[in-house]
Structure 1
Amino acid sequence: MTAQNASSTSARPWLGIALVLGSATAWSYGGAIQRFIGLTDGWAIVFWRCLFGGLFLLSFMLIRDKAAGTVRLFRAMGWPGVMIAIGFAAVSTCFVLAVSMTPVANVVLFMAAIPLFAALLARVLLGEPITTVTWGAIAAVIIGVAIMVSASIGEGGSMLGLGLAASIPLIFACMTVLTRRYPGIRMTPAASLGCFIASAIAATQAGSFEVGVPDLLLLFAFGALNLGLGMAMYVTGARMIPSALAALLGTAEMILAPVWMVLLHHEIPSVRTMIGGSIVLAALFTYLIGHMRGDAGPRVPTAS
């Protein structure tokens, strides 16, 4: 190995960290963008967002892997990849509809529980052991979520919105277990296909597709720059660092999302939401840091 190659290799972890942090930042402003969109039809927003997101990811693969390589990626997905795509479609739809019904902080803080739900589901379905620290973190998440839900109910929040927000970590947990069972699943084609599936379903439910130029630009940013760019940066960067570190860095999304809402829309979370969210984030940090110390390289899906 030449000195130049050695330098390039040693720099890859820092590039991976930068890309994963970039992906978390890109994902974090999704709710803030949606609040600026004038469309009131949530299904129309899902249609345009997922259409732009799917096209962005497809273009990313065509540039990176060329046409032949992109076709091979889609053909190699198999039924596990199709199931992951359906999961992405469901999550993308639930996110948009939930944000239209409940504060963004509720949605993203529910999402912070994804790794812990995945650990619990992996125990049930795959027989993977759960440490005492993980059990404690799961209990803390349940308490934190209960506090957040009580705050929303007390303020007359939408139960449907809370239900959609709660479904996101459950769906993601199922997707995580599936990728552990089939670690060769390719995430980029699955996410792209999922976007197109969500867009097609939303097309059957939307009342109208008419949208003005300002909203169309916002929808492009919501789909391409929030959903698509975030995924492209994550799948590229996550290959360069341990998956537990990638998950830990990804928590920046949960921290930044409420900040954007406060700065741009003056949407201030309630005291109970902040207390419950703090408990959830503390539990997640404890779990991920313990996971990093105990296992430097847990099984993750192939990021490509």
Structure 2
Amino acid sequence: MRHQLAFTILIVAATLSSFNGIFIRWLADMTDWQIVFWRHFLIGVTLCFGLIFYYRSNFIGALKAIGYTGLVGSTAFGLSLIFLTMALHHSSIANVMFILALVPIMTALLGWIILREKIQKITWIAIVGSIIGISLMVLGYLNSGNIKGTALSLGCAITVSFFAIILRWGRKINMIPMFAIGTLIAAVIAFPFSFNDLTLNRPQITLLFFWAGLISPLYYSLFVVASRHIPAAELMLAVPLESILSVLLAWIVLAEIPSANSLLGGTIVILSVSCMAIYRIRQKQKIPEN
């Protein structure tokens, strides 16, 4: 696959995933646990059907092939989905997505702690910039009393970063079975908190099937395809892109305008991560010349 096509696929995946906050707002009459259960149950089932179609009789073997390392990664991914849904349900889309832009920074820190990976100077600079940005955002949250959404967003960023470390640890693990198992883990955890009222009306069913049965499995699959043909440095650009698109969509579709603290802090975080990613891309491009 050509690099340009793979990068286009990555942009499409990031664009589709940026609608998550919009769908959660449209399902505001459901509880957070109901959304967690139904969304991830439907995604898990859809991905499993896709795996059955692809692997046929070797479907169970494909699930087993991820091993214990993959199971740990799936659990981290499942927890991140719960944190994300809860955060978007209890905070503004901009606040959540700006904090999630920290994922590449947190992944670098976890890689340094767990995998003993060396952190470049540009990454340390990005870390300092991100700390400044997050501090401005947290200050705004403390003044508004909305600290719950901040904590949930940070929980999502940490678990996603841990999932990324697991992927580095087990480089040959197929991500699609991990996504399928992770979403079903999220649904299982949510079930005890939502089984008292699992009934849905027609608009809810329509939205959930479109979002969880089509859009979400599609962008998970597109991300996996793109990740096989794009260097890690370029993959990082999907994070600030998704954050920016999510904030723009929230503003255009829902008229959600971020606070001054959130906008300033989030901009600093996104610039820090983007500059780090662009620097690494240019660094990779220079290697063949040496």
1:18 paired to 2:5: no
Residues 111 and 169, structure 1, Cα contact 8 Å, conserved in 2: yes
Any idea what the Cα deviations from partners look like across 1:226-272, whole Å, max 9, x if unmatched?
43221011101221222221221443211100111111111100111
1:224 paired to 2:213: yes
- Give the alignment partner of residue 233 of structure 1, picking from 218, 222, 234: 222
Q: Which residue of 2 aligns with 1:30?
A: 20
Using the TM superposition, give the Cα deviation of residue 38 of structure 1 relative to its aligned residue in structure 2, in angstroms.
Answer: 4.1
Q: What letter matches 2:87 in structure 1? A: A
Q: Which residue of 1 aligns with 2:108?
A: 119
Quick one: structure 1 residues 60 and 14, their matched pair in 2 at CA, closer, same or farther if it must change by over 3 Å? farther
Alignment of 1:26-175 (within 5 A): 26-63=16-53, 65-157=54-146, 159-175=147-163
SS at match of 2:50: helix
Count of aligned residue pairs for this structure pair: 284
Q: TM-score, normalised by structure 1?
A: 0.89
- Give the alignment partner of residue 203 of structure 2, picking from 199, 206, 214: 214
Using the TM superposition, give the Cα deviation of residue 124 of structure 1 relative to its aligned residue in structure 2, in angstroms.
Answer: 1.4
Q: What letter matches 1:194 in structure 2? A: G
Q: Which residue of 2 aligns with 1:184?
A: 172
SS at match of 2:90: coil
Q: Which residue of 2 aligns with 1:5?
A: none
Quick one: structure 1 residues 38 and 285, their matched pair in 2 at CA, closer, same or farther if it must change by over 3 Å? closer
Q: What letter matches 1:285 in structure 2? A: S
SS at match of 1:100: helix
Q: TM-score, normalised by structure 2?
A: 0.93
Give me the whole-angstrom Cα distance separating, in 1, the residues matched to 2:82 and 2:248.
23
Unaligned runs of 5+ in 2: 286-290
Residues 55 and 62, structure 2, Cα contact 8 Å, conserved in 1: no
Aligned-pair Cα RMSD in Å: 1.5
Give me the whole-angstrom Cα distance separating, in 1, the residues matched to 2:261 and 2:238.
25
Quick one: structure 1 residues 42 and 249, their matched pair in 2 at CA, closer, same or farther if it must change by over 3 Å? closer
Give me the whole-angstrom Cα distance separating, in 1, the residues matched to 2:8 and 2:220.
14
Q: Which residue of 2 aligns with 1:4?
A: none
Q: What letter matches 2:25 in structure 1? A: R
Using the TM superposition, give the Cα deviation of residue 84 of structure 1 relative to its aligned residue in structure 2, in angstroms.
Answer: 1.0
Residues 40 and 184, structure 2, Cα contact 8 Å, conserved in 1: yes
Using the TM superposition, give the Cα deviation of residue 185 of structure 1 relative to its aligned residue in structure 2, in angstroms.
Answer: 1.9
Using the TM superposition, give the Cα deviation of residue 25 of structure 1 relative to its aligned residue in structure 2, in angstroms.
Answer: 0.7
